[in-house]
Amino acid sequence: MIIVTGGAGFIGSAFVWKLNQEGITDIIVVDEFEEHESWRNLVPLKYTEYIHKTDFIELIQENTEFASDCSAVIHMGACSATTETNMDYLYTNNTQYTLILADWCLQNDIRYLYASSAATYGEGENGFDDNHDTIESLRPINRYAYSKQLADLHFLRNGLLDHIVGLKFFNVFGPNEYHKGSMRSVACQAVPQIKEHGKLRLFKSDHPDYEDGGQKRDFVYIKDCVNIMYWLMTNPNVNGIYNVGTGQAKTWNDLANAVFHGMDITPKIEYFDMPDHLKKQYQYFTEAKMDKLTSVGCPIKMTSLEDACADYVSNYLDPERPLS
């Protein structure tokens, strides 16, 4: 049995899809639906049972036999909104939940993968190196990132990173993100915008080193992410924190042009002022260092931005459909 928390969410449901692709259906999905549409991601997927996240914590704390059936926990559940301002909620939901699951897995010899975040790198002033000796020097610039950093620091300071896997996802995009509202990728939001207005709007740059639309991100396709996750899950001798990106930063203009190309439409981009509340926490450059993952033998070849956008636009965004 494999447990996937956040299993109805973007990366979690995509990983359930990956497990199904590998012939695995003995899966427990842990999540909370509330009023958003993430449940739609699960409709075409095969899994054994859905458990609410609160009930799940109570279950593992009270039922000692439950662990004997479990081979891995893939912990993707979190509040991923970088604009969330309730730090107590983020600490309880993102940090404490991660630590409780780690403790349970370590006590019961269960493979444990959890989602950290590339947001922990802050403005990138200390680089994007996933070596453990850089963790203490990182300076997150929003509450969400700090809630992730606190878990990383706990594992580092208690010598646990040799026994578990933390994943620092960069700018992930692809099918199954439709329920995320304003937190959807620009690639996802672009298609309906282009259809309605014939153009795509991007933030202007307030940084002299970057032209409008020239801000750079490491855009990584969801299918590549879940391939990496599956490889790590099935290679229990590989542990530690790893970046999940392409290792090659691209501009927002590059992304926009790739979406337009996927739609077979001539690019038309309009730039507008960035909202004030985002300016202090905006990253102008992110690029995953991928040497560490390569050095441990991970064979996954990353999809180019152009090919990823072509697949996303033509096979999933028109109309929006989940992985199945």
Residue 278 pLDDT more than 90?
no
Amino acid identity of residue 166, one-letter, is: G
Residue 280 pLDDT more than 80?
no
Going by DSSP bridges, is the β-strand pair 250-251/216-217 parallel, antiparallel, or unpaired?
antiparallel
Residue 64 pLDDT more than 80?
no
Q: What is the mean pLDDT of the chain?
A: 95
- DSSP result, 154-210: HHHHTT-TTTSEEEEE-EEESTT-GGGGGGS-HHHHHHHHHHHHSSEEEEPP-STTS
Backbone angles phi, psi at 248, to 5 degrees: -140, 105
What the block records as the tokens of 98 is 């991660």
168 noted as active-site residue: no
Q: pLDDT-based confidence at 276, cuts 50/70/90?
A: confident
Beta strands in 206-296 (DSSP E): 216-217, 219-221, 240-244, 250-251, 269-272
pLDDT (0 to 100) of residue 282: 83
Residue 136 pLDDT more than 80?
yes
199 noted as active-site residue: no
What the block records as the tokens of 11 is 């990366």
**Closest by CA position to 199, among listed 269, 264, 271, 273:** 269
The 3 state secondary structure assigned to 293-316 is HHHCCCCCCCCCHHHHHHHHHHHC
pLDDT (0 to 100) of residue 279: 81
Q: Virtual CA dihedral for 7, 228, 111, 128, nearest 10 degrees? A: -100
pLDDT (0 to 100) of residue 177: 97
pLDDT (0 to 100) of residue 65: 82
pLDDT (0 to 100) of residue 277: 81
pLDDT (0 to 100) of residue 318: 82
Residues 6+ apart with CB under 8 A from 298: 228, 231, 232, 238
Q: pLDDT-based confidence at 227, cuts 50/70/90?
A: very high
Mean pLDDT of 178-195: 95
Question: Please, what is the Cα angle at 241 between 121 and 182, to 5 degrees?
Answer: 50
CATH superfamily to which 2-173+219-247+293-300 belongs: NAD(P)-binding Rossmann-like Domain (3.40.50.720)
Higher pLDDT, 5 or 34: 5
Which of 10-14, 215-219, 273-277 has the lowest average pLDDT? 273-277
Mean pLDDT of 89-117: 97
Q: Which of 121, 144, 146, 230 is catalytic?
A: 144
Q: pLDDT-based confidence at 121, cuts 50/70/90?
A: very high
Mean pLDDT of 125-145: 94
pLDDT (0 to 100) of residue 314: 95
pLDDT (0 to 100) of residue 76: 98
Q: Which residue has the tokens 């578990």?
A: 164
- DSSP result, 121-133: GTTSTT-S---GG
Q: Is the dihedral of CA 219, 225, 231, 233 positive or negative?
A: positive
Contact in structure between 187 and 255 (CB atoms under 8 Å): yes
Q: What percent of the chain has pLDDT over 90?
A: 90
pLDDT (0 to 100) of residue 265: 96
Contact in structure between 223 and 216 (CB atoms under 8 Å): no
Mean pLDDT of 219-248: 98
DSSP-derived letter for residue 43 is T
What the block records as the tokens of 20 is 């199904």
Q: Which of 18, 148, 180, 289 is catalytic?
A: 180
